[in-house]
Amino acid sequence: MEDLLRIMRLLRSPEGCPWDREQDHKSIRSNFLEETHEALEAIEREDAELLREELGDVLMQVVFHACIEEERDSFTFDDVVDGVSRKLVVRHPHVFGEVQADDTAQVLKNWDAIKRETKGGKTQADLLRSLPRSLPALMRAAKVQTRAKRVGFDWPELSGAMASLESELAELKEAVAAGAPAAVEEELGDLLFSVVNVSRFLQADAEQALTGATDKFIRRFTEVERLAEQQGMDMPAASLEELDRLWDQAKAAEKGR
């Protein structure tokens, strides 16, 4: 760890790298996000060697940001480590203290209460607002719903969530028929929020489900393109009926495999 810190300090020094010296928090924030996504991709692939490498890249981003603040005499990497260590102890009183927590539900309830107290929140709504808006929308929606559920604000069973989904779809159709763009966007958002709600009841991750659906579309589109070329068809000039026929073929072939 000390080697990594020394390397980063050197890169940021007058004798170091011009690019590294020029960076600030905002200029490299997209790099942080990219490296995190690459680590998630390694997890998805179940590739331990790749994960080791990508976690190193994520750690480098943490060190980079910490060194920027160290130069400003704000805080150091040691302060970052100390802070998260203390936070883990405080938020696990059932491990490091005398609080009883026999299951995950009780652990999460305690966690929320401690988090609300330590972050200065006075209400459950404060806890919802504390979720960063920069999170992927589906993930943020799921987290908001999960936190609301912990205080009993949730449908008692799947049927309620499904009925809400159907209601939101009907309202979207009405907005589309009325030709009201603002209302369409609002109702579309409500529909997506309801879809996430249903996914929670089905214990399915909405983000992963959509990623899987997108991957499936790409696979089938690739097959449609191959079939079109095989049949001497120009896709841009083809009719919707012709493309739909190729789509059905690609879909049947994938299901057959």
Q: What is the pLDDT of residue 255?
A: 85
165, 195 Cβ separation under 8 angstroms: yes
**CA 140 – CA 207 distance, rounded (Å):** 10
**Integer Cα distance of 71 and 49 in angstroms:** 33
pLDDT of residue 19: 96
Alpha-carbon span 204 to 224, nearest angstrom: 29
Q: What is the pLDDT of residue 105?
A: 81
Cα-based distances in Å from 183 to 170, 192, 197: 13, 14, 21
What integer pLDDT is reported at residue 117 of this predicted model? Answer: 75
pLDDT less than 70: residues of the chain:
120-121
Residues contacting 96, CB < 8 A, separation 6+? 89
pLDDT of residue 57: 97
Distance CA 253, CA 245 (A): 12
State the Cα–Cα distance between residues 68 and 46, nearest whole angstrom.
33
